[in-house]
Amino acid sequence: MDTLELIKDEEIKNESVSISGSVAVLEALIAEGVTEIFGYPGGAIMPIYDALYDYESKLNHILVRHEQGGIHAAQGFARASGRTGVVFATSGPGATNLVTGLADAQIDSTPIVCITGQVFAHLLGTDAFQETDVINITTPVTKWNYQVTDASEIPSVLAKAFYIAGSGRPGPVLIDITKNAQLQLFDYKGYTKCNHIRSYRPVPIVRKEYVEEAAKLINEAKKPFVIFGQGIILGKAEKEFAAFIEKGNLPAAWTIMGMSAIPTNHPLGVGMLGMHGNYGPNVLTNECDVLIAVGMRFDDRVTGRLDKYAKQAKVIHLDIDPSEIDKNVKTTVPVWGDCKETLPMLTALLDKKENKEWLQKFADYAKEEETTCIIPDLHPATEELSMGEVIKTLNELTAGNAIIVTDVGQHQMVACRYAKYNNSKSNITSGGLGTMGFALPAAIGAKFGAPESTVVAIIGDGGVQMTIQELGTIMQTGVDIKILILNNRFLGMVRQWQELFHEKRYSFTNIQSPDFVKVAAAYGIDGKKVSARNDLSSSLKEMLNHKGSFLLEVIVGKENNVFPMVPQGCSVSEIRLK
C-alpha cells in the first residue's frame, strides 16, 4: 500500500504515517476545502508539483503565464466565491512576482494563501541560485508570513495560514517552504483546522454601550448619512445592512469596494463616494449631522482633504479592525466588531423615521448631476462612442446580473459609476492599490470562483497589455470570460489629469496598441472590433452569447473625461461637474 492509499484509508486515518512535506501541503489544501490552485512551477517548488501529479482528481491546478497573473486570479476567485484563494510560485523571481498582488490583496482585504518554494535550508543566506529573502520582502504586504524549514511544521503552519487569511479582516498570507522540507519524510498524524491562536483576536469584543450611544446619535439626527464599504460583503452582512438602512430610512452611499453589497437600484442607495463618485453623496458628506461609516477605511480618494472632511458631523464608525478607528477620521462613537453581529444590535435600537426632506436633497443633487454629466455620458452628441454608453448598453443586456471585473483607469471609474448590480460579490476591482493589469487574470479567477455567472472583464487599452499573456491561460483552460476593451488610444486617467492640471502637456500617455482581435485569435479566442454606434448593441450581444471566451474591442472617444471629479487637494464639497 503506497502513501496516498494510507492517507485515504479511513480505518487508519488517525494513525501516524510517513509522508513527505509536499504531500502534507496538498493534504492540507484538501482538508481546507480548496479546489483550485493558480500557479507556475519552478525548481524550488518542484517537489510539490511532483506530488500534485497524483492529486489531479482532487485539486484543479490552473497554469498561469506569469506569477502576477496567478495571484490576481486567486484574488478574483476569492472575491467572487467568498473563499480563500491559493497560489503556488517558485523561489526568487517567482516569489517576487507575487509582491504586487500581495500588496493589492492586503489593502483590499482579500483572503489568499501563497505557497512559495525556497532553496534548501542549508543554502539560505548564501545567495544561492534563485534565492531571495521572500519573508522580509513580503512582511509589509502580508497579514502573516512564515518560512518552513522542517516538514513536520507544515500541517500546523498551513492550518494557521488559512485561519489568519480568512478570519477577522481577511488578507494575504505567504508560506515559504524550503526544498528540503518539501522532500523530507515525517510522521503525519492528520490535519486539524485552526480556530484559535493565542495573542490573535480576529474579531474584537462588541461593547454594548457603544452600540447604544450610536443608536442614540442616529435617532437624534436630522441629517443621518451612511457610507459603507467592502466590510459588508466580507462580513456576509448584506441582509443585516439592508434591514438597518431600511428601518431608519437612511440614505446610503458606497465606496467602489462596497459596491454590490446592496443592489444599485435600492431606493436608499444614493450612489458612489469618492473622487469620481456621485455629486450628492460627496457634497452632502459635508452637510450631514451624523455620519455612519460601516466597513470602510476613510481612504483619501473618499475623503479628499481630511481637514475639510465632515467637520460638522458626529462620526460613528463600525469596523472589525480596531486599527481603522481614528486612523484618518476622528470618531465620536466607535463600534468595534463584526458588522453581521453589530448591525442587528444597532437596528433593534433604531427609531423608524421618514427623513423625507433629507432624502430629497440627494434626489435634487442627482437630478443636477444627471443633466450635467450623466445624460451627455450615456447619450453623447458626438459620433464617437463614449465609455458610458458602452456600459449602459451592457447593463441593458446583462440586466445587472453579471460579475463585472474592472482594471484601473478611466474605464474603471465609468464602469463603477454606471454598471448595475443585483447581486453581492459581483463588482471586482483593484481599489486601494489601483493595479493596472488586474482585470484579465482576476476575471479568470472569478469565473473559476463563480462558474455559473457571466463574467465580463472591462479593461483599458493600457492595462490589458500589462497581463495580456494570460490569454494563454484562457486558451489552455477553456475558461469562458468576456473581455471588453475600451480603447481610447491613451493612458486615459493620467491624460485627463495632464489636460486639467498640466496644461495639456501629454507626456508619454499616447499609447499605441496591437490589433487586439488578432492577438486574441493567435490564442484561439474569437473577437471583434467595433467603433460605430449602430453596431454596439449587436456586438455586445454577440460577445455575451458566444460560447467560450470572446474579446470585443470598442473604440471610444480619445479625449473624453470622467466627471464629476474631486480634484486632488480639494474637499469633497468642491467636486466639479465639468
**200 belongs to a structural domain:** no
**55 belongs to a structural domain:** yes
Are 507 and 448 members of one domain?
A: yes
Residue range 223-274, pLDDT digits in tens: 999 999 999 999 999 999 999 999 999 999 999 999 999 999 999 999 999 9
* 14 confidence band (pLDDT: 50, 70, 90): low
**371 belongs to a structural domain:** no
pLDDT higher than threshold 90 for residue 13: no
Are 218 and 299 members of one domain?
A: yes
Q: Which domain holds residue 79?
A: 3-188
CATH number of the CATH domain containing 63: 3.40.50.970
- pLDDT more than 70, % of the chain: 98
Are 76 and 168 members of one domain?
A: yes
Active site residues: 67, 129-130, 179, 493
Are 160 and 245 members of one domain?
A: no
**343 belongs to a structural domain:** yes
Q: For the chain, give the mean pLDDT.
A: 95
CATH number of the CATH domain containing 321: 3.40.50.1220
pLDDT higher than threshold 70 for residue 12: no
Are 111 and 180 members of one domain?
A: yes
Q: Which residues, other chains included, contact 182 with Cβ-Cβ below 8 Å and sequence gap of 6+? A: 20, 21, 22, 25, 45, 47, 48, 117, 151
The count of structural domains within the chain is 3
Are 94 and 233 members of one domain?
A: no
State the pLDDT at residue 7: 55
Are 38 and 184 members of one domain?
A: yes
The region, left, alpha or beta by phi > 0 then psi within -120 to 50, assigned to residue 518 is alpha
State the pLDDT at residue 192: 97
The residue with cell 442607495 is 269
Are 178 and 224 members of one domain?
A: no
Are 298 and 427 members of one domain?
A: no
- Per residue, what are the HEC states of 511-555? CCCCCHHHHHHHCCCEEEEECCHHHHHHHHHHHHHCCCCEEEEEE
Are 169 and 76 members of one domain?
A: yes
Higher pLDDT, 14 or 72: 72
Rounded to two decimals, the pTM is 0.95
**13 belongs to a structural domain:** yes
Are 294 and 407 members of one domain?
A: no
Are 238 and 387 members of one domain?
A: no
Residue range 511-557, pLDDT digits in tens: 999 999 999 999 999 999 999 999 999 999 999 999 999 999 999 99
Instruction: Over range 56-73, report the average pLDDT.
Output: 97
